Structure 1
Amino acid sequence: MIRSFMLALLFALSAPTLAAPTADAARPVINVEQHENIRVAYDVKDDVWDAGIGKALYYVRGLLEAYKDQGVAPRNLHISVVLHGPAAYWVLNDAAYQRHKKDEFAYNPNDKVINELLAHGVSVELCGVTMKSMGWTEKDVLPGVKIVHDAYTRLIDLQQRGYAYIRF
């Protein structure tokens, strides 16, 4: 019995101790490992808002900041935002936005963030099928926004080319 006790004591004294983390000890933060040729496709269909703009646009802007904070140069980011369905009106100019909302005083609050995203090299894209079904023309769309044949074939193409898929 004493031998068992001595062995247990010896084992306990030689085993590494697992100290509880202190308040001062920082946890390691995992950062991105890939810094080049980052490809992301946003599938934006839901008409959900955050901070006064389309939620997906808010999150794309946040993604740009997150990569910047981790030292990724904007030239290494390839982001496509494909809008269709109920969220497609986010890319309308003010005149078309007013007609869509049936409010002559309405303005498109997404205009500014879309221009910021375009300036950072983000490809903002509108589904041509949605555009036609809503009776919109290219003149109704904000400058710089690209028209794609349809959202689904565009998203499939982007995914087959290695783009990470994010659904909104």
Structure 2
Amino acid sequence: MSALDEALHIDIPVKLSRLKVVFSIGALGFEGDLPASIFHLQLITNDAADWNAESDVVAVFHTNAGHLTLHDAAYNADRNISTGNPYKDLLEDLMKRGVRVELCGATAKAHHWGNTDLLPGIPVNTDAMARTVQLVQEGFIKITE
């Protein structure tokens, strides 16, 4: 048993059988160098797997976080760098695990991004606000990142 296991007692254990969550990700806060939104998506995805829960998790990237959905060349052009998208592997892993990652169409238009600028498998919605409202009306819980 680790020192943390000995020092931490969970007073309110949570185990859900079903999750319907939409993350509205318009800006990036960080846990070290990792965007907190990605950390939180990983956390809830891991929880759902541990609980063997039915889950539907949608991440809508928009505004100042939309660039995370770009492939390397488009990311480089948008961010004026040459390192490629450092978050692509994390997003691709989340998508493989069932998270639906989307880009706001209004954000894409404002930045002159086309569908071919995106990582494979990322669809574009009309706009983040309309999509979030739609999902909330369908029973999703909204988390703002």
* TM-score of the aligned structures, taking structure 2 as reference length: 0.87
In the alignment, is the contact (CA less than 8 A) between 1:53 and 1:109 conserved in 2? no
Map Cα deviations across residues 14-66 of structure 1 (whole Å, 9 max, x no partner). xxxxxxxxx9xx7654222x413x20000000122334332201210111112
| Larger RCO, structures 1/2 (Cα 8 Å, 6+ apart) | 2
Give the aligned CA root-mean-square deviation in angstroms: 1.8
Shift of 1:144: 0.9
Q: Please give the alpha-carbon distance, in whole angstroms, between the structure 2 residues aligned to 1:54 and 1:43.
A: 13
Shift of the alpha carbon at 1:81?
0.3
Among 26, 40, 52, the alignment partner of 1:72 is: 52
% identical equivalent positions: 25
Question: How many positions carry a matched residue from both structures?
Answer: 138
Change (3 A) 1:133 1:164: same
Partners in 2 of 1:140 and 1:67 — Cα distance?
Answer: 31
- Residue pairs, 1:1-168, within 5 angstroms: 29-32=12-15, 34-36=16-18, 38-69=19-50, 71-73=51-53, 76-103=54-81, 105-168=82-145
Contact 1:128 1:150 in 2 (8 A): yes
Q: Give the ranges of 4+ consecutive aligned residues of structure 1 lying more than 3 Å apart after TM superposition.
A: 26-29
| Structure 1 alignment gaps of length 5 or more | 1-22
Whole-Å Cα distance in 1 between the matches of residues 121 and 69 of structure 2?
10
Aligned 8 A contact 2:60 2:104 in 1: yes
